[in-house]
Structure 1
Amino acid sequence: MATAALARPQDRIEELGIKLISADNHINEPRNLFLDRFPAHLKDKAPRVIEGRDGGEGWSIDGTPPKRTYGLECMAGFDKSEYRMSGLRHADLRRGNYEGAAHLADMDIDGVWASVTYPGFSPSFYTHPDKEVAAAGFVAYNDWILDDFQSADPSRLCGLAINPTELGIDHAVAEMRRCARKGARAMYIPGNPTIPYNHPTHYHPVWQAADELGLTLCMHRNHGGPPDATDWDRLQEDKVSIGGIVTRYFSCLKPFSYLIFAGIFDLYPNLKMVGAEVDCGWAPFWVQTMEHHWDIQKSWFPVKLKHSPTEFIGRNVFTTNVDDYCGYQMIQTGLWPWLANMTMFSSDYPHSATIWPHSRDVALKMTADLTAQDTRTTLSENAARVFGFSI
């Protein structure tokens, strides 16, 4: 149906038969998740939620007060004038942060039919000093997100299990296969791995397993793994800043470029990788630059791609956006036909950047001037094929 034929813009999603999907929601783990699920001999080392110096509560890995208590990661339900970096207690969080059924109820308020849920505290196990504790933490989280949270309605929820790549590749592949048997459709990988993703051999068993199992691999900005030594947020106690928030929108440029020019997607053509919460307005210049330098540099470069870089965009490489009006205006021009195929809508519930409970309104505003097909593609169809939703 053509856009012009629609009588009322506010009904456009229904008129086009779109099931709105948020490809980047989040959880904040239940406060007793690890205490309840750790093996007996590790219970005293299990991370737990305790009171911080500011009277709020947050995660502690060693019994000392948390470096930062709950705040920006759980702002859904708060007015923007009430946003705070920290100082909240676990009881202040909406139940949709940690209960699948309540998360579905909050999606209904938001006009969102399905969501992909990213982890909260649990990627910190990538840098936990005790590898046995880290392994137990990943298993505990993965069992909870699949058996308890996603199971509330797997047709509408895709919970990301965490891929323990930093604990060794054999360990990671075994956990991929275990989680796939439990119903995982996608897994989180570190945005800042210790060993870069273009390593000539290290990650290939992971890429091969994901390709074979149909597991989409997802990075969330640069989260997961040790922060870069020059990162603004590494230099301050609370680990968050506006400068850091802004620059992380460009954090998947490096890993995606490395993966493409290492030939990973030629070797594993079914492999899908997502850079979450990075938007897409920067992508036309990035792809232009990749094509330009592939054209003039490929004679000496040792990796010989079977396809041009553009062909991997929207086939193997994807991003999620919250309210990227710039990117959607670029889609509207039709100058970069691959752009609509690479990006997926999201609400970022319950973080401070969230558009909950107004996701439907934002989706309508962003896509008001798009073609009917581009609207379907960006708001629903891309996420459905990347994360295995039936629409």
Structure 2
Amino acid sequence: MTDSLLPRIISVDDHIIEPPDLFQRWLPQKYQDRAPRVERRLISRASQLFDGLVEDPDGAPGDVWFFGDSAYVLRRPILILKDVETTAAMRGNETATYDEMDPACYDPKARVKMMQTQHVDASLAFPTFPRFCGQALSEQTTTDRDFGLACVRAYNDFMVEEWAGESEGRLIPLPVVPLWDPTLAAAEVRRNAARGARAVAFSEVVGHLGYPTIHDKNWDPFFAACEETGTVVCMHIGSSSKMMPLPPGAPDVVTTTLQFTNSYASIADFVFSGVLVRYPNLKLAYSEGQAGWLPYAMERMDHAYLHHTWGHGEEPMPELPSAYIRRNVYGCIFADRHAIENARKIGIDNITFEVDFPHADGPFPKTYEHLASQFEGVDAETTYKIIRGNAIKLFQLDFDKDLTFDWDSAA
């Protein structure tokens, strides 16, 4: 397949750096005294990436999201700067301000313009300040759940009406839900589905956050709403606020290397919970976990189910675990040549692509070059489905003209 024929990307994992006045504009007036807000502070240069706020009068200026008793410091690895050369070269964890970052981080019109330069047609963006499944909005409102629900609804109103609203389908809305109540979460899914949202952010292991687990049918109202409305349950690595613990003395890069294990653990949890038996049309999408490991995971889960019968739940599954993975689960890749070469073992319809804009491990500003290297020598059907086609079908996107891709001319 020649470079000129590479399909334009539907990226199912990007991120939004929320505009600093989001909640001032979308949250009801009666809650404004407690609304999440951004303030500029001087921050210690010795502070590490996820330490939170460590102030220092001799430190560097940085913008900080304050909400309840939490502080989220904006840092350069999660965004791009106006200076593209500096962005491409940076590898540190320096603080950042909205003045320094490219407007494409937080402004929908600027984002679409940036996408056009990067061979990207559509993008689904996970939260930043609220964290990957919006858990901050639930954690910081435990004493006033009406306030918490108002914050969730304000974020979703922004996401659906402003972020995605005038993008002509290029920005795919990704709402969040109140995690303390599956019934309220179901209602929020239906509210957003009624205005066109077909995705929802959720935790890979919600029980780690202190909320009801997916077992004992706790979340069935939510899953029923997602299945009924065709809403995809989108789970980003780290959305359980936990990662694989580091061995003593190991550098942080070990965590990055092992991040796929979060997705593996979540898929196994869903498969053996019985959720996918009760909701056969429910779709689960895993972001930033890659997919090259899935053939082994399916083999291992099938073996465990057949040979470790003492470990089954109360309701045995009518099919092997691998059947549910191929029917209900979608992996997401951005640097996984192994998955591309083994796409038919994984399931050619079960892999999607991401750009991870504007995070530092993404390919910006050479997205097309990276895409070409990943799909060099790959057949046209596999290329189209992973880069674009599977996401169009999964998220019910209105890009029908591109579904008539000419396999013969592209071969």
Both structures adopt the same fold (TM-score exceeding 0.5): yes
The TM-score normalised by the length of structure 2 is 0.82
How do residues 139-288 of structure 1 correspond to structure 2 at under 5 angstroms?
Answer: 139-164=153-178, 166-193=179-206, 194-195=210-211, 197-223=213-239, 225-227=240-242, 231=245, 241-288=252-299
CA displacement, residues 223-273 of structure 1 (integer Å, 9 cap, x when unaligned): 2x5547x856xxxxxxx9434333323211112111112222221111101
- Name the aligned partner's letter for residue 206 of structure 1: F
C-alpha contact 1:30 1:98 (8 A) present in aligned 2: yes
User: 1:60: how far off?
Assistant: 1.1
Query: RMSD of aligned C-alpha atoms?
Result: 2.5
Q: Which residue of 2 aligns with 1:11?
A: 4
Long gaps (5+) in structure 2: 44-60, 400-411
Q: Is the 8 A contact 1:70 1:90 kept in 2?
A: no
Identify the match of residue 128 of structure 1 among 140, 148, 151.
140
Query: Does the residue aligned with 1:161 lie in a helix, a strand or coil?
Result: coil
Structure 1 unaligned runs (5+)?
Answer: 4-8, 233-239
The yes-or-no answer on 1:85 pairing with 2:93 is yes
- 1:284-323 aligned within 5 A: 284-298=295-309, 301=312, 302-323=314-335
> Any conservation in 2 of the 1:118–1:159 contact (CA below 8 Å)?
no
2:18 paired residue among 2, 6, 29: 29
In 1, distance between residues paired with 2:150 and 2:252? Answer: 31
Between the aligned partners of 1:310 and 1:291, the Cα distance in structure 2 is 6
**Do residues 373 (structure 1) and 378 (structure 2) align?**
no
- Secondary structure (helix, strand or coil) at the match of 1:369 reads coil
Q: CA deviation at 1:43?
A: 0.8
What corresponds to 1:6 in structure 2?
A: none
Q: Which moved more, 1:74-83 or 1:375-384?
A: 74-83
Q: Does the 8 Å contact 2:176/2:202 carry over to 1?
A: yes
Partner of 1:237: none
Please tell me whether the aligned partners of residues 180 and 211 of structure 2 are also in contact (alpha carbons under 8 angstroms).
no
Rounded to whole Å, the distance in 2 between the matches of 1:134 and 1:350 is 28
How far the C-alpha of 1:104 sits from its partner, in A, is: 0.9
Answer yes or no: is 1:70 the counterpart of 2:81: no
Give the share of equivalent positions with the same residue, in percent.
22
Q: Contact between 1:272 and 1:317, CA under 8 Å: does it hold in 2? A: yes
Query: Aligned residue for 2:57?
Result: none
Q: Which amino acid aligns with 1:186?
A: A
Deviation at 1:222, TM superposition (A): 2.1
Contact kept in structure 1, 2:173 and 2:197, CA below 8 Å:
yes
Distance 1:319 1:158 in 2: 18
Q: Which residue of 1 aligns with 2:27?
A: 38
Question: CA 1:154–1:118 in 2, change beyond 3 Å: closer, same or farther?
Answer: farther
How far apart are residue 85 of structure 1 and its match? Answer: 1.5
Separation of aligned partners in 2, 1:67 and 1:390:
36
- 1:312 and 1:154 mapped to 2: Cα distance? 34
- Match for residue 405 of structure 2? none
Question: Is the counterpart of residue 97 in structure 1 residue 97 in structure 2?
Answer: no
Q: Which amino acid aligns with 1:184?
A: A
1:48 partnered with 2:48: no
CA contact (8 A) 1:322 1:347 kept: yes
Q: Deviating runs (4+, > 6 A) in structure 1? A: none
SS of the aligned residue for 2:42 comes to coil
2:63 to 57, 67, 70: 57
Q: 1:61 to 1:299 in 2, by over 3 A?
A: closer
Following superposition, the deviation at residue 351 of structure 1 comes to: 0.8
Using the size of structure 1 for normalisation, the TM-score is: 0.86
What is the rounded CA distance, in whole Å, between the counterparts of 1:129 and 1:323 in structure 2?
A: 38
Q: Distance in 2 between matches of 1:304 and 1:242?
A: 39
AA aligned opposite 1:265: L
What SS does the corresponding residue of 2:123 show, helix, strand or coil? strand
Distance 1:389 1:241 in 2: 37
Count of residue pairs the alignment pairs up: 367
Structure 1 pair 51/231, CA: closer, same or farther in 2 (3 Å)?
farther
C-alpha displacement at 1:386, in angstroms?
Answer: 1.4
* CA shift in 2, pair 1:299/1:82, >3 Å: closer
User: Residue in 1 aligned with 2:407?
Assistant: none
Distance 2:76 2:62 in 1: 9
Task: Give the direction of change, closer, same or farther, for the CA distance of 1:245–1:50 in structure 2 (3 Å limit).
Answer: farther
Q: CA deviation at 1:197?
A: 4.4
Shift of 1:328: 2.1
